[in-house]
Amino acid sequence: APITVTDAATATVKVHLTASQRDLEIPTNLSILDALEAQGIRPKVGCRMGVCHTCVCTRAEGTTLDMQTGEQDAQPGMDVRICMSRARTDLTLDL
């Protein structure tokens, strides 16, 4: 059988939003904010550049990649700027 490689552009992860009790799949090649907005979810947002922190929410579980710093973080209970972060694994967010 041929070996298949998951295309990073089409890879998705599952996201659970605790406050709104929603479960969805988002692509890993978009910011979390862009991916949520593409599915009709409208989190609070301001500058979209990671400066104002309006979009910050708490990550209960999962790994995110900060697109500005290149840092991956999986520590539970940490704040995530969803405009500047991409999902790397399944996530639980306080949204």
Q: Could you tell me the two tokens for 86?
A: 């991409």
Q: What does the pLDDT look like over 31-66, one tens digit per residue?
A: 999 999 999 999 999 999 999 999 999 999 999 999
Q: Which domains does the chain have, with CATH numbers?
A: 12-93 (3.10.20.30)
Report the side by side order of strands in the sheet with 78-81.
Answer: 22-27, 12-17, 91-93, 56-61, 78-81
- What pLDDT shows up at residue 10? 77
Whole-model pTM: value is: 0.88
CA 28 to mean position of chain CA atoms: 8
